[in-house]
Every structure is written in structure tokens, then in C-alpha cells.
Chains A and B, each alone.
Chain A
Amino acid sequence: MDSMTIIAVASIVTAGVTTGFGTMGPALSEGKAVSTALSSLAQQPDASPTITRTLFVGLAMIESTAIYCFVVSMILIFANPFWNHVIK
């Protein structure tokens, strides 16, 4: 296998695995966050605005790690410097 093939295979496999792991972790933790928020809403419905707002802020923070993985995958597929170097 020459270097072009190795770089292509590594980029493709890593991009797929990155997206795979990047969606598993945040999905689990967001599920836990939403379930805790729901149970605290059931206990204290009058604190609903605060709980909802905090929930969304927390969800966005958790989501951002998934976004990091997505950005890395996109870079590997579309803006890969090693691939561009080897193509030339």
C-alpha cells in the first residue's frame, strides 16, 4: 500500500469512528440531563422557567462536544491537509 492509500483509508475510517463516538457520549448524557430536569419539574412546577433555561444551557454545552467531533470529521473528509498534500 502506498502512502496515498494509507492516508485515504485512515482519514475515512477515523472520520466515521469520530462521528460514531461523538454521538454516543453526548446522547447518553443529554438523556440523563433531560430526565433529571423532568423529575425536578414534576417536583416543583413553579420553578419551571429557571429549570427550562438551565436545561437548555446545559444541553447546549453538552452538544458542543458532539459538534467538536463533527467538525473534526468534516475536516478529515473535506479539508484534509494530508490528503491535499499527497494529491499534489
Chain B
Amino acid sequence: MRLSPDEMIFWQYGFIKLSATIVFTWGLMLLLTVGSKIITHTLSTDHKRSRWQNLLEMVVMGMEKQIEEIGLSQPRKYLGFLGTLFLFVGAASLCTIIPGYEPPTGSLSTTAALALCVFVAVPLFGIEEQGVGDYLKSYIKPTFIMLPFNIISEISRTLALAVRLFGNMMSGAMIIGILLTITPYIFPIIMTVLGLLTGMVQAYIFSILASVYIAAATRVRKPKVEAEVVH
């Protein structure tokens, strides 16, 4: 029983293996970038616009509104990172409609890589917003004893992000695989639909959690200059 798309190898040369994870990830990247390029080739601002442009606008503005509702005051800065996370994980699970495709997020490598991106991005955005000193001081709040706990919580929530996404994707694929050997006809289709639903929900959860972590890191304390100006 295949546990992850890592084990399906398309091509091998020495120790460089092109596993299904890498091939499907590249396919997804191609689909997202080439598709967006084709759609945005002829942008128009008047009433007559293509339906694909409408779709992209709905998606992008929906994401921007979500990011703003989380508490990030300038959503445009973070839209690139968070939007790409959502689109990649969402497209990875949407494409299970295509036969022969396995979501690359069903492999722990992909989800660990995405969680590491979030792990690196949170301090980066925090330092960009608050400055190095203020950001590092936030680890010591509320008391100095909390420093190891804050560090451990950073690491554990990154781990939780990776394992949550991996577990959801892998369990969907595995349940379909097991059911195919038991009742081949109707039931696996229902489970595929359920897998699609959980895939989209997990994409949303992943990006919402990433934006919540970034919002927590970039929350600027009330500036003291305002108080002085009032007087």
C-alpha cells in the first residue's frame, strides 16, 4: 500500500529521483503560472471582460478581504505569500478530479516545505514591521520566563501545520485506496468528493493560520508619539 506519492518514481539517475511528488508539483506550478499569464494577458477595466478575469478578480479580492478581516492592516503586502499558499494547496486538492493524479501535499516533504516557508516568513514580516529589537522583545513578553515556551510554541505550531495538512491529504488518498479494494463502484466516488471538500477546507485553514501567525508577529504596539501629540 503506497503511503505517499514519494514512492512512485518516474525517472531515476543515480540518487536524483523524479518522484510523483516533484512531477505533480511542477505540473501545478505550470498550471497556475501559465493559466494566470494567459488570463491576465488582456486585462480590461470596462464592463466587457472575460469570465476568467472575473474569476481571478473574485479570488484575489476575496483573499484580500479575508486577510484584512484577520487583522493585517495592509493586505497587499501579504497577499502574495498568503494567496500563493492558498492557491497552491487549493489547486493541489482540486486537481484530484484528473485521473491518475495524486495530490503532492499528500507527502510529508511538500507540507514540511510549506510549513518551513511560514516558519521563516513570520519573523521576516515581524522584523520588517516592528524592527529587530521590538520583535525580539516580543518573545520575552509577558515575563522573561516565557522565553523557552514562546520558542517551543513557534516550533510546535509549524510542526502542527505540516502534519495537519499531510494527515488530511494522506488520509483521503488512503481511504479511497482501501475502499477501491472493497467496494469498487459508487462508494469511492463519494469519498473522493469528501476528499475534495476537506482539501479545500485545509487549504483555507493553512492560509488562515499562516495569516494569524503573521498578524500576531506584526501587531505594532500603540505608538507613544500619538499620546504626546494629543497633549
Question: Do A and B bind?
Answer: yes
Residues of A with Cβ closer than 8 Å to B?
Answer: 53, 56-57, 60, 63-64, 67-68, 70-71, 74, 78-79
Q: How far is the CA of A52 from the CA of B135 in the complex (A)?
A: 32
Instruction: Using CB atoms, name the residue of chain B closest to A68.
Output: B163
Stretch at the interface among B41-49, B166-174, B179-187: B166-174
| Cα distance A79–B170 in the bound complex, in angstroms | 14
Is B218 interfacial (CB-CB < 8 Å)? no
The verdict on A57 contacting B208 (CB below 8 Å), with A67-B171, A78-B1, A78-B3 known, is yes
- A60-B164, A78-B3, A79-B3 known, 13 other contacts, Cβ within 8 Å: A53-B208, A56-B201, A57-B209, A63-B164, A68-B163, A68-B167, A70-B167, A70-B171, A71-B163, A71-B166, A74-B170, A74-B174, A78-B1
* A74 CB, nearest partner CB in chain B, Å: 7
Name the one of A60, A68, A79 contacting B205, with C-beta atoms under 8 angstroms: A60
Q: From residue 123 to 166 of chain B, which have CB atoms closer than 8 A to chain A?
A: 160, 163-164, 166
A–B Cβ pairs within 8 angstroms, 28 of them: A53-B208, A56-B204, A56-B205, A57-B205, A57-B208, A57-B209, A60-B164, A60-B201, A60-B202, A63-B164, A64-B160, A64-B163, A67-B163, A67-B164, A67-B168, A67-B171, A68-B163, A68-B167, A70-B167, A70-B171, A71-B166, A71-B167, A71-B170, A74-B3, A74-B174, A78-B1, A78-B3, A79-B3
Contact at B3–A67, with CB atoms within 8 Å?
Answer: no
Seen from chain B, the residues whose Cβ lies within 8 Å of a Cβ on chain A are 1, 3, 160, 163-164, 166-168, 170-171, 174, 201-202, 204-205, 208-209
Total cross-chain contacts (CB, 8 A): 36
A contact residues around B1 at 8 Å (CB):
78
Residues A64 and B164 in contact in the complex (CB < 8 Å), given A56-B201, A57-B205, A74-B174: yes
Query: How distant is B60 from chain A, measured CB to nearest CB, in Å?
Result: 18
Interface of B is mostly: helix
The residue in chain B whose Cβ has the minimal distance to the Cβ of A79 is: B3
Residues on the A chain within 8 Å of B201, using CB: 56, 60
Report whether B3 and A64 are in contact in the complex, using a CB–CB cutoff of 8 Å. no
By a CB distance below 8 angstroms, the chain A residues around B204 are: 56
Contacts of B174 in A (CB 8 A): 74
Q: For B160, what are the chain A residues with a Cβ–Cβ distance below 8 Å? A: 64
Cα–Cα distance between A67 and B106 once the two chains are bound (Å):
13
A68–B168 Cα distance when bound, in Å, is 10
In angstroms, Cα B212 to Cα A57, docked, is 11
Are B205 and A67 closer than 8 Å at their CB atoms? no
For B209, list chain A residues within 8 Å (CB): 57
CB neighbours (8 Å) of A71 from chain B are: 163, 166-167, 170
Q: How far is the CB of B207 from chain A (nearest CB, A)?
A: 11
Which residues of B lie under 8 Å from residue A79 when comparing CB positions?
3
